[in-house]
Each structure stands twice: as structure tokens, then as C-alpha cells.
Amino acid sequence: MTLFRQIAVLVSIGFVLLLAIISIDSLRQSTSLLREQLESTVQDAATVLAISMSTTQNSEDTAAVETLFNAVFDSGYYSDIRLVATDGRLIFEKRRPLTTSGVPEWFVDTVRLNSTTGRAMVMKGWVPVAELEITLHPGFAYAGLYERLVSTTQWFVLVFVVVLMTLWLILHYLLKPLKAVYIQANDIQANRFTQQKRLPQTRELRRVVQAMNRLSSNVEQIFNEQERAVARYQSLLYRDELTGLRNRRFLMTELNANFADIAGFHSVMAMIKLNGLETLREDFGYQRADEIVQLFAVCLKDSFAEYPHYKYARISDDEFALIMPTERELATTLISRLFERFQARCHFNQDVVSLNAGVAELSRADGATELLSELDLSLSQAQSLGAYQLCFPGEQHLSLPQGKLQWRNWFQHALSSNQFYLVSQLVYDTSGAVMHREIFVRIDDEEGRPIPAAVFMPMALSLGFGLEIYRKVNELLPAVTAGKYIVPFAVNFSDLFISGAHAFEELNQMLELFQKSPGTLCVEVSHEAVRSHPERCQQLADTVKQYGHSFGVDHLDLHISMHTLQAINPEYVKISARLLDDLGAESDASAYQALRNVVRTLDIELIAVGVDEKALRDRLLLMGVDGMQGNYLGKPERII
């Protein structure tokens, strides 16, 4: 019950009691006074009529008596007039029945007015000849009392309504700050840290509002500190202090995560050696050598500024690594341009400082260790060829097209012949229950070996086949929903799909399709999509939730603004298991705790992806993640 209703009930009870007390007391006093007035009035009327009859010549003259009786009786105030001789004989009488028109019976039964009779002697000279009795009719008295009660009640009701309306207006004005405090508390729960600028005049309410403002400010400060701590710890873990580039730990985390998610993908990795650094330190000093390292880092950033998805890191004192989601020919061209840029800016000739690169395709290796061995071998071969040379190892494992023209023909044939199919990988919570199935698209090569989407999707996007493949996935989804899968399916949308003109139209069709199936849908977007299209992602999340489905962010980057994440409000986020392991490996694990506090504050589930070994799974269980996904827990299986 609201405060207004409670006060209204108390005021109503008070008004009813007050009305009852006043009415009863007023009726009691009025009745007592009215009885006295009635007795006096009826006695006066009897005396006056008796005197009038005494002046007549014959008191037993019926016609004369009736004339006098009618003059009094017709006024309607009397119910009975009798003239009785001294010997007891009735000379004349007029009577009318007792009626109380317009007065309810309950009122007559409650308020008793006894019949009032006035008596007077009719004299003949000094001799009494008859006795006159006049009984007053109480109907007028009842009508007057009842009218007074009704008038009093009406005034009380009117005053009561006015008081309630005034009370409502006053409380509505006075309690506005409390309503604002309620809204502010809900905002804090939803991690929107609002402040009330207008303080109430009432001292008690002012203190409450000020306390809520301080609470909101403190919680916001704690939240922002946790957010900055997460980003700061990631920078400390994965950033090289001298160059500002990522470090070896970052590179290994990325490689292990990628190899855990899929069996290799279509990217090229280069290991670049900065030759002559030790000689430079001996001849020109450490500062000059550091300047050359920083110069190469700048050249690396400038060369790949147009390629935000390319990742590069300084993995040792004189070695750098570069991961390029592209084909072999373009990777070779980009590395050659990097060599040219460095040569143009470096003041030392190639006899003093030079570069070499070993390059390998990730699809040829089964893991990070094997890939690094391939790169070391390629780098050694490149150094044997001379300065500014690069070298590739032998043939790759998968049978893939070479060159853009072959890729284009390959995609056209695969789309026209419906060679794409779907696989799914289970995501488990810490108790071992299935949270959802993530769907991936696959296609087999000429020898029947499955090619993961990450192998062909970068080339598909560059050649303009991305949307066609996404539409092909949408064509395959009805067959998935027709199955008896109760566990939700997770579908990952790229920023290309989100930015498409017909994205939401196709999304609505997909959501309506899953509305008719026994299972539900989890729509995922990558952190790159959230960063590039935050408004579209928020609109996408709202649409998904309106249909009763779930929304998540895949491969979350901890440098993303938590306010952006809060606006999108996903049900879960997926983060690299290696990154979480590194954050939790610190002596006090404060980095992971900061991340955990942030996602708990936002009521978001934390899912670790890329779990590729038992030891990693066990550490993640101890860290308290909400879910896990990876090849150790279960490899992708074909569903359609």
C-alpha cells in the first residue's frame, strides 16, 4: 500500500469518527432542546385555544368548537385535539395519523421523540366546564433533525474530499524526491549512475537524496576504477614497454586460442628478424639500438594502419611477429612494402642493420609450437638468402585455391552446388550442463577434408561473397530448427552482416523461425562489430531480446568501453581462455577479480573460449567462470 493510501485510510477513519461523534452529540443536544421547545409550544397552544373557547357563550357548541379546532389543526403541527367535559364525557375530537414523510424509518427508530401533550381548562366564568388536550405532531421535528444530519454529513463529505485532494497534491509534491530516489536506485542497479540535481526543501528528504547521490557517485567511481584496472592489467600483460606493441605473451595467447577454436585458419604469419642489433649496441650504444627498434615499430604500425584486423607483436629482443588474415600473395607484397619503408627511414646501410622474414600459413600447422618451428626454419632460410629477403616453407596441408581468380571461381561453384554445411560445438557451464550450441559453417576441400570458416571467410569477405555465405547459412537454419534440439543455438554475426541494408529484415526472419522451434537462439557479435557499430549492435540486441532470445558478445576485448557493453547489455560475453588464465595467474589475481566484478555488476555471464587442455579447464573452474568452450570439451560436430 502506498504512503498516500495509508494516510488516506487514517484520515478517512478520523473523519468518520469525528462525523459520528459530532452527529451523535448534535442529535442528542438538538433532541433535548427540541423536546423542551415542543412542550412549551404545545402548552402555549392549548392555553391560547382554551382561552378562546372560554370566551364563547356555549363550550359545548359543536360548530363553534369545530371552527376553533380547525383553525389550529389545519396548520399540520398537531396530531390530536380533544375536548373532554369535567365528567369525563368526550365533547369533540380531531385526529390525524402519525406520518414522517421524507424521513427514513431507521432515523425515527433511532431518535425517539415522545408525543408531547398540552392541557388547559376551559372556564365558564370561574367554573371549569371542560379540559382541552392538544398533542403535537412530531413529523416536523423529525424532518428538521434529519435535514440537519444530512446537511452536516454533506459538509463533512465535501470537506473530506477537499482534504484528500489537498493531501494528495501536497504528498505528490513532497514525495517527488522519494520517487526520484526510487528511480535513482533502479538506475544504480542497472549501472546508470544518475545524480539528482534538485534537492528537496524538507530536511529529512534532503538528507536521503544527498545520501543517494553520494552512493551513486561512489558506486560509479568503483565501477570506473574496476573498468580501468581491467584495461590496465591487459596492457601490462600484453604490451611491450619499449615499442608499445603487443608482446610474446599476447601472440601465444592469440595463437593458442585460434588453434583451440578451429583446426587452423586462413591467415599468414610472419616472423621478422631485425639483424645487427647486437653490433649496433656495441658500436653506438644501447640508446641508438633502442631507437632502431622503435623506428621499426613505427614502420610496422604505419604499414598496417589500414588493416585493423592484422595483429603484430614484439616477441623477443630483435624479433617481431605479424598475423595477417589474408592470402599468401598479398602477405608477401605487404611485407616487401614494410621492408622498403624501413630501408627508406633507416640511416644505416644493410650491412649494419637489415631485416629478414620467415612466413608460413597457419593452416599448415596443428598448433602454435609446430607453427613457430616452421617460422624459425623459414627465417633461417631467408637469412641465408641475404638482407631483406623472406621465405615460405613447403606445401600446406589443406587443398585450397591459389590466387583471387581461383578463389572467386571456387566460391561461385560452392554456392551454386550447395557445398556449405553446418557444424556445432557445445558450450558447457561449470556443472557440465550444456548452455548452448555454437553454429559454424564448413565446406570440404577436394580431398574431403573440412575447411573451417576462418580459412575461407577472410577471402570471401575481400571478394564480396560474405553476405551470400551468410544467406546460405540462413537457408540451412530451417533444417536445424526442424530437428529435436532443445538446447539453444548460437549464431555469430560479423560486422559486415550487421552493417548491411537488409540485416534486420533477415534477422527478424531468423528470429521468427526460431520462435516456432522447440529451442531458442543466441545471437552473437564480435567485439570488433560492437566497437565499429555500437548503435546497430544495441538495436540488434534490443530486437533479439524482444523475441525472447539471448544476445552475447564473442571474443571480447578488455579495452572495449564498459559503458558501451552496459548499453548493449548482453546476457554473456566470450573471452579467450588463455587471456583469463593470464589474468588469473598474477600473484594476487587482482586483474581477473576486477574483470569478474565488472561483469557481475553488469549481470553478464563469463564464458571462456579456446579451452584446449585439462589443466587449463581445471584452472578456469577454480577461477569461477560461468561457462567454457573448446576442443578439449568437445570438437565441432556436423548437424546438417
* pLDDT tens digit sequence for 149-187: 888 888 888 888 888 888 888 777 777 777 788 888 887
Strands 450-452 and 434-444: antiparallel
For the question of whether the overall pTM of this predicted structure is more than 0.75, the answer is: no
Res 73: pLDDT: 64
What pLDDT is recorded for position 74? Answer: 61
CA separation for the pair 380, 319 (Å, rounded): 13
Decide: helix, strand or coil at residue 452.
strand
**What torsion do the CA atoms of 48, 54, 59, 64 make, to the nearest 10 degrees?**
-60
Mean pLDDT value across residues 301-315: 88
Confidence grade of residue 114 (pLDDT, cut at 50, 70, 90): low
Cβ partners under 8 Å of residue 417, min gap 6: none
What is the per-residue burial (b if ≥16 Cβ within 10 Å, else e) of 419-454?
A: ebbbbbbbbbeeeeeebbbbbbbbbebeeeebbbbb
Measured between alpha carbons, how far is 612 from 290 in angstroms, rounded to an integer?
Answer: 37
User: Average pLDDT in the 52-60 region?
Assistant: 65
Query: Once rounded to an integer, what is the mean pLDDT over residues 528-539?
Result: 84
Averaged pLDDT for residues 300-306: 90
228: left (phi over 0), alpha (psi -120 to 50) or beta: alpha
- Strand, helix or coil for residue 308: coil
Three-state DSSP class for residue 272: strand
Residues 310, 254: contact at Cβ < 8 Å? no
Confidence label for 1 from pLDDT (cuts 50, 70 and 90): low
For residues 27 and 144, what is the distance between their CA atoms, to the nearest angstrom? Answer: 11
Under the banding of pLDDT at 50, 70 and 90, the label for residue 213 is confident
Q: What is the pLDDT of residue 408?
A: 86
Q: What pLDDT is stored for residue 321 in this prediction?
A: 93
| Residue-wise pLDDT tens digits, 123-143 | 777 778 788 888 776 777 777
Residue 559 has pLDDT above 80, yes or no: no
Does 481 have pLDDT greater than 60?
A: yes
Distance between CA atoms of 256 and 274, rounded to whole angstroms?
A: 25
CA torsion through residues 54, 57, 61, 67, sign:
negative
Q: What is the mean pLDDT of residues 185-202?
A: 78
Angle at 91 between CA 90 and CA 97, to 5 degrees: 70
User: Percentage of the chain surpassing pLDDT 90?
Assistant: 9
Q: Give every CB contact of residue 594 below 8 A, 6+ residues apart in sequence.
A: 226, 229, 230, 233
Which are the contacts of 430, defined by CB distance < 8 A and separation ≥ 6? 621, 624, 625, 626, 627, 628
C-alpha–C-alpha distance, residues 437 and 635, integer Å: 11
Is the pLDDT at 278 greater than 70? The verdict is yes
Q: From 534, 530, 629, select the one nearest 580 (Cα to Cα).
A: 629
| Contact between 599 and 578 (Cβ < 8 Å) | no
> Is the predicted pLDDT of residue 257 greater than 80, yes or no?
no
User: Average pLDDT, stretch 437-442?
Assistant: 87
pLDDT for the residue numbered 293:
92
Span 382-399, mean pLDDT?
Answer: 75
Residues 555-568 have a mean pLDDT of 74
On the CB side of 99, CA atoms within 13 Å amount to 6
Three cell numbers, residue 21? 461523534
Q: What is the pLDDT at residue 414?
A: 87
What is the per-residue pLDDT for 151?
84
SS3 93: strand
- Give percent of the chain above pLDDT 70: 85
> Confidence band (pLDDT; 50, 70, 90) for 98?
low
| Bridge partners, residue 239, by sequence | 246
Q: What whole-number distance in Å separates Cα of residue 523 and Cα of residue 507?
A: 10
Task: Report the relative pairing of strands 489-493 and 434-444 from DSSP bridges.
Answer: parallel
- Helical segments of 484-570, H only: 495-498, 503-515, 527-532, 534-546, 562-568
Q: For the residues 481-500, what does the mean pLDDT come to?
A: 75
Q: Report the candidate in 115, 153, 122 with the shortest Cα–Cα distance to residue 38.
A: 115
Pick the residue with more confidence: 187 or 391? 391
> Residue 578's closest CA among 280, 303, 253, 330?
253
Instruction: Give pLDDT, residue 338.
Output: 92
Q: How does DSSP assign 580-610, residue by residue? A: HHHHHTSSS-HHHHHHHHHHHHTT-EEEEE-
pLDDT tens for 605-621 read 999 998 888 888 998 99
Q: How many CB atoms lie within 10 A of CB 182?
A: 12
Question: Minimum mean pLDDT among 22-26, 56-60, 326-330, 479-483: which range?
Answer: 56-60
Long-range contacts of 283-289 (CB under 8 A, 24+ apart): none
Q: DSSP character for 239?
A: B
Q: State the CB neighbour count (10 A cutoff) for residue 317.
A: 12
pLDDT, average across residues 7-15: 81
Residue that the C-alpha cell 375530537 belongs to: 93
DSSP code, position 268: E
What's the pLDDT tens digit per position in 341-385?
998 888 887 778 899 999 988 766 667 777 888 888 888 888 878
Identify any residues that bridge with 95 across adjacent strands, giving them in sequence order.
80
What pLDDT is stored for residue 266 in this prediction? Answer: 63
pLDDT for residue 58 is more than 70: no
The predicted structure's pLDDT at residue 65: 67
Query: Which tens digit of pLDDT belongs to each residue from 292-301?
Result: 999 999 999 9
Residue 612, all three cell numbers:
584446449
pLDDT, tens digit, 9 for 90 and up, residues 404-434: 788 888 888 888 888 888 888 899 998 989 9
The pLDDT of residue 357: 93
Choice between 449 and 574, residue whose per-residue pLDDT is larger: 574
Report which of 1, 9, 7 is spatially closest to residue 171, judged by C-alpha positions: 7
List C-alpha distances in Å: 433 to 580, 628, 633. Answer: 21, 11, 12
Q: For residue 627, is pLDDT > 90?
A: yes
Contact between residue 617 and residue 632 where contact means Cβ atoms under 8 Å apart? yes
> To the nearest whole number, what is the mean pLDDT of the chain?
80
Sheet-wide strand order for 311-314? 246-247, 311-314, 319-324, 268-275, 354-361, 389-391
**What amino acid occupies position 331?**
A
Predicted confidence (pLDDT) at residue 557 exceeds the cutoff of 80: no
**Rounded CA separation 130/50 (Å):** 9
Instruction: Find cell 526510487 and name the residue.
Output: 182
How many of the other CB atoms lie within 10 Å of CB of 591? Answer: 23
160-169, 303-312, 500-509 — which is least confidently predicted?
500-509
The three-state DSSP-derived secondary structure of 199-237 is CCCCHHHHHHHHHHHHHHHHHHHHHHHHHHHHHHHHHHH
Residues 6+ apart with CB under 8 A from 395: 364
Sign of the alpha-carbon dihedral angle for 327, 331, 334, 340: negative
